Chain A
Amino acid sequence: QSALTQPASVSGSPGQSITISCTGTSSDVGGHDFVSWYQQHPGKAPKLLISEVSDRPSGVSYRFSGSKSGNTASLTISGVQPEDEADYYCNSYTSSRTLVFGGGTKLTVL
């Protein structure tokens, strides 16, 4: 199972919106809605941000949203804040009943 494809890095100024893409295949991202997103600050464990493509767990800021079109899922951060600077990972369930992560995207807040 190959890792899902994410851009290595994105950047934005405070207040701007940024989008991180996550591209897979019809065997994972495109095959169902079990796509989730995680935020990881340096030296910390990942934190669930988005579940089932677009559901935001309790306690997660409304500034984080998710969507999907075909084999590509996306995470959008509206009004980026300095504390959003972190690594972001997408994850998908697969047709083989396994999970697969993306390669991760480093967000820099300028």
Chain B
Amino acid sequence: QVTLKESGPVLVKPTETLTLTCTVSGFSLSGPRRGVSWIRQPPGKALEWLAHIFSNDEKSYSTSLKSRLTISKDTSKSQVVLTVTNMDPVDTATYYCARIRALEIDLDQWGQGILVTV
């Protein structure tokens, strides 16, 4: 059974750096054709894709947020970490991690999300 779970602070102050961790189970971060994406959703608003990382360490970032985002993975811990620098109240959102399938380029399994308030 594939699961993903987000963890991190639920409250951060403006200008601080947010560090979120996605812990996965049921699949390997080193396995072929799989990766993890981060997506966020401000209260009452639409989903926004942030970044993804694949097993070969290929990374991609949202163009509008690229300067503030860093994604990395620790395969031995089955964790993917996202950092967002210089947090602002407009960054208040539920942050989700999701498994991305490299061949289909879709997000087939999602975590429950974590609401982060700035």
Contact = CB atoms under 8 A, between A and B. Distances in A.
Q: Do A and B bind each other?
A: yes
B102 to A, nearest CB: 11
B49 A45 contact: no
B35 to A, nearest CB: 11
A64 interface: no
Given A45-B96, A45-B112, A47-B110, A100 B104 contact: no
B11 interface: no
Interface residues on A, range: 20 to 34
A30 interface: no
Contact of B46 (A3, A52, A57): A3
B108 A57 contact: yes
B64 interface: yes
A1 B63 contact: yes
B63 A99 contact: no
B47 interface: yes
Contact of A99 (B37, B112, B113): B37
B64 A1 contact: yes
Contact of B113 (A1, A45, A47, A104): A45
A18 interface: no
B105 A36 contact: yes
Interface of B: 37, 39, 46-49, 52, 60-64, 96, 98, 101, 104-108, 110-113
Interface of A: 1, 3, 34, 36, 38, 40, 45-48, 51-52, 55, 57, 89, 91, 93, 96-104
